[in-house]
Structure 1
Amino acid sequence: MASSDDQSLNLPLKEIPGDYGLPIIGPILDRYNYNYFQGHDEFIKSRMEKYKSSVFRMNMLPGQFIKVSDPKVIVVADALSFPILFDLSKVEKSNVLDGTFMPCLSFTGGCRTCAYLDPSEEKHRKLKSLFLSLIASRHDKFIPESQRCFNALFDGLEADVAEKGSANFNTLNDNMAFDLVFRIFFDINPADTMLGNKGPSMITKWLVLQLHPLITLGLPKIMSIVEDLFLHTFSYPSFLVKSDYQKIYDVIYTSSTSILDEAETLGLSKEEACHNLVFLAGFNAYGGMKALFPALMKWLCLGGQKLHKDLAEEIRTVIESEGGVLTLGSIEKMTLTKSVVYEALRIEPPVPYQYARAKQDLVINSHDACYQVKKGEMLFGYQPFATKDPKIFENPEEFIGTRFIGEGEKLLKYVYWSNERETVNPTVDNKQCPAKNIVVLLARLMVIEFFQRYKTCTAEISKFLLGSLVNVKTLTKH
């Protein structure tokens, strides 16, 4: 029997607590409690308390109706059990990106994209290699293009705050993120293409129609039956976004000659490679930025004036010492800036869920016990609890900007947002986000550009879909 950690030799082996309830009724009840009556965090927390375990059984949405696979999952929600999801000798990742269901392949031109492939599949190696090559070839674009896009974002925030008294960061961020993705990866301004200024709305609609079974709108509980009917009961057809998708595909195809030629040398067709580039740009990059940057702005605004002062001082001091030029080397010297970004990724990871399926009988160990998992069972990692594990992180619910400075860097191995430990780098043989290091860099660059421009800020924060809604109220310039 394989085990997730040698420490399991010193821990008792227990049955996984929890059950799935009655057929049909059990999944529906879990879905309503998870989405509407308790909410995600409270649902997980209440069962952890009930079973006195951070490993337990439940049904995961979408549940009984939109059903490509079984809704039954085993939850892992602590820092020690969570890494079993990364151990590809014991688990497999085929078709588990979205957990207990998989969107129709017609949303991606009939292609099963890299994100849904297991690393054991030869096509995964070829596509991941292609992505890593693309990212490496664009390294000189990251700083100048992000500076351009972030400053345009901040111009918009300032204008809205001055005119309206507040600025919806999320809306402005969507436009910025779409622009940034296309400038970095494809060297084009999407506004100059057939997409015009409609690109963000096109790609957002494409994302929503694929992921609606995972979305909760946050409507009053009295509306839960209506919301559940339209979001979690049946799948929407891809033809609703077929025209938009084709336009995005055509723009990327005509802008990616060299990378598509490289795909052919790897044994991939240009068409399949392009569908994967659309997914990489639209789902992974743009979709990730829709969650990442609002969360980062949220925690920056909530960080308080002392943190703002320290960040501004560090950033300005380092840049001045480098002759006023921002370089990758100077960014590495900004230890507080790095720590703040890691802390934001820890406390509010852009992708809160991760999945895997046991490829053999195995044993998972948590802090207090080991649990036996049977071959074929689905594991569901609830990251917001794993990266706020009180047995690993002191004051885990508190945003502490200095958490990962000095000795605190040792805790980075418990930051899991990228589908791996933060101390691991993406390769063709793992399922880690290929742009993991670029995501961290772009987040640092946003902090740097912000505090070169502003002394402090305030915002109103609320919940929106799977992330945070940030309304900026004040921006105080230097």
Structure 2
Amino acid sequence: MFPPRSAVPLKPIPGSYGLPFFGAIKDRLDYFYNQGKDEFFSSRVEKYKSTVFKTNMPPGPFIAQNPRVIAVLDAISFPILFDTSKIEKFNVLDGTYLPSLSFTGGYRVCAYLDPSEPNHTSLKSLFMSVLASKHKDFVPLFRTCLSQMFIDIEDEMGSKRTANFNDPSDAMSFNFVFRLFCEKDPSETKLGSEGPAMVDKWVGLQLVPLATIGLPKFLKYFEDLLIHTFPIPFFLVKSDYKKLYDAFYASSSSFLDKAESFGIDRDEACHNLVFVAGEKLHSQLANEIRTVVKEEGGVTFQALEKMTLTKSVVFEALRIEPGVPFQYGKAKEDIVINSHDAAYEIKKGEMIFGYQPFATKDPKIFDHPEERESIEVCLLVKRAGDGGSNCGE
């Protein structure tokens, strides 16, 4: 039974999945090559005159046996994806596609578990407990790793007169997580300096069906067949993953001991730890940060709370380009969701998909949804004594 209807009119969900098999391929080609992500969604919003509609989401078919989703792309309908009383998060981290469990030692790691599953609570509690126990180490260690990253960048600039930011940043992130959980620099293990590259390869092979590899456009059909149709085999990264696993296992005995106290097998806990390590976690800002840090005697959580402009810019940047753009979930029961103008019935078991950049730039919520500067300007006016009463609205 569907719940009671809302005040807005109930309408059938528009859109189409197209012909079996071929409809999914057409949508896949549009998404990756013919239109691109934003046009893929915006063209359908315009076509159906609705921010809720049916479509296929890549990769599918074959890699994703059922790529059919109901897209929710406005600020009213999107939050349903966070209501775990109505939405199931079982194996939906990567949407309609689930990488081979061989990539994670045969385990469904925490990110693929639904909150109702016992191991989800145990694993989440384990990581939160370890992070809480290391709260005094978190900021100092991050500063140390960040300082080393900038030293590396400066060294490269000095020798080559140019530097790539992404590689040192990836290395810093990996080193930080490894040192935080294992209390040892990865360079002191058999990984040496190769850990970040191994992680990139391991993560890349899992996620490549959800992206493109940048071949020339005339090769798009070859690329599409190569990476979007059949599962990527684990053996391509098996030796690298074993080195990562062995290094974490040998260096994180205190973490694994704690895992056992939570009733989690050491092997499963270690695979989850590797997964956590692999997830891919100007002047006015600088002046504010430096001033507050000086007042507080360093980078502390209290200092961060005082950086109002910095926080506003971060929030605005995350609104424009959310760090996790895609959300998925399956309806646990028959539900009714609302958009601004209508209500729609979704049946139990149907997959719901949300593209967050559209929801956080909903033109019916934000007057200038594409303008990154709006909050910054408003706050500057407020600081100048003009009130700024509409800031953040």
Verify same fold: TM over 0.5: yes
| Structure 1: distance between partners of 2:182 and 2:266 | 15
Q: Give 1:217 shift.
A: 2.8
- Larger strand share, 1 or 2: 1
| Structure 2: distance between partners of 1:103 and 1:409 | 43
Q: Give 1:374 shift.
A: 0.8
| 1:126 equivalent in structure 2 | 122
| 2:207 equivalent in structure 1 | 211
Alpha-carbon spacing, 1:259–1:96, altered in 2? closer, same or farther (3 Å)? same
Could you report, residue by residue, the CA deviation over 1:183-205 in whole angstroms, capped at 9, with x for unpaired residues? 22322211121111111111111
Alpha-carbon spacing, 1:265–1:75, altered in 2? closer, same or farther (3 Å)? same
Q: Give 1:398 shift.
A: 2.0
1:103-252 matches, within 5 Å, as: 103-252=99-248
| 1:402 equivalent in structure 2 | 376
Any idea what SS the aligned residue of 1:167 has? coil
Any idea what SS the aligned residue of 1:9 has? coil
Q: Give 1:168 shift.
A: 1.9
- Assess if the C-alpha contact under 8 Å between 1:66 and 1:233 holds in 2: yes
Aligned counterpart in structure 1 of residue 292 of structure 2, from 318, 321, 328: 318
| 1:466 equivalent in structure 2 | none
TM-score (norm 1): 0.76
- Assess if the C-alpha contact under 8 Å between 1:358 and 1:375 holds in 2: yes
Q: Which runs of 5+ in 2 are unaligned?
A: 380-387
| Structure 2: distance between partners of 1:52 and 1:122 | 42
Could you report, residue by residue, the CA deviation over 1:113-161 in whole angstroms, capped at 9, with x for unpaired residues? 1111111111111111111112112212221122122222223333444
| Structure 2: distance between partners of 1:126 and 1:75 | 32
| 1:446 equivalent in structure 2 | none
1:378-417 matches, within 5 Å, as: 378-400=351-373, 402=376
| 2:60 equivalent in structure 1 | 63
| Structure 2: distance between partners of 1:181 and 1:346 | 26
| 1:44 equivalent in structure 2 | 41
Alpha-carbon spacing, 1:189–1:407, altered in 2? closer, same or farther (3 Å)? farther
Aligned counterpart in structure 2 of residue 54 of structure 1, from 39, 51, 70: 51
Alpha-carbon spacing, 1:72–1:135, altered in 2? closer, same or farther (3 Å)? same
| Structure 2: distance between partners of 1:155 and 1:262 | 35
- Assess if the C-alpha contact under 8 Å between 1:339 and 1:404 holds in 2: no
Q: Give 1:326 shift.
A: 2.8
Any idea what SS the aligned residue of 1:205 has? helix
Residue 194 of structure 2 aligns to which amino acid in structure 1?
Answer: K
Residue 109 of structure 1 aligns to which amino acid in structure 2?
Answer: G
- Assess if the C-alpha contact under 8 Å between 1:342 and 1:404 holds in 2: no
1:437-456 matches, within 5 Å, as: none
Alpha-carbon spacing, 1:123–1:40, altered in 2? closer, same or farther (3 Å)? same
- Assess if the C-alpha contact under 8 Å between 1:36 and 1:218 holds in 2: no
| Structure 1: distance between partners of 2:343 and 2:291 | 49
Counterpart check, 1:267 vs 2:260:
no
- Assess if the C-alpha contact under 8 Å between 2:2 and 2:345 holds in 1: no
Aligned counterpart in structure 2 of residue 9 of structure 1, from 6, 18, 31: 6
Residue 46 of structure 2 aligns to which amino acid in structure 1?
Answer: E
| Structure 2: distance between partners of 1:329 and 1:408 | 26
Alpha-carbon spacing, 1:404–1:234, altered in 2? closer, same or farther (3 Å)? farther
Aligned counterpart in structure 1 of residue 25 of structure 2, from 28, 44, 50: 28
Any idea what SS the aligned residue of 1:80 has? coil
| 1:327 equivalent in structure 2 | 300
Q: Give 1:321 shift.
A: 2.3
Q: Give 1:391 shift.
A: 1.9
Residue 317 of structure 2 aligns to which amino acid in structure 1?
Answer: A
Q: Give 1:10 shift.
A: 2.1
Range moving further from structure 2, 225-234 or 252-261 = 252-261
Alpha-carbon spacing, 1:140–1:232, altered in 2? closer, same or farther (3 Å)? same
Q: Give 1:164 shift.
A: 4.3
| 1:473 equivalent in structure 2 | none
Any idea what SS the aligned residue of 1:376 has? coil
Q: Give 1:358 shift.
A: 0.5
Q: Give 1:410 shift.
A: 6.2
- Assess if the C-alpha contact under 8 Å between 1:37 and 1:221 holds in 2: no
Range moving further from structure 2, 162-171 or 222-231 = 162-171
| Structure 2: distance between partners of 1:409 and 1:100 | 39
Q: Which runs of 5+ in 1 are unaligned?
A: 289-307, 412-478
| Structure 1: distance between partners of 2:289 and 2:125 | 34
Could you report, residue by residue, the CA deviation over 1:21-65 in whole angstroms, capped at 9, with x for unpaired residues? 001110000000010010011110100011111111101111112
| Structure 2: distance between partners of 1:404 and 1:139 | 34
Range moving further from structure 2, 372-381 or 247-256 = 247-256
| 1:102 equivalent in structure 2 | 98
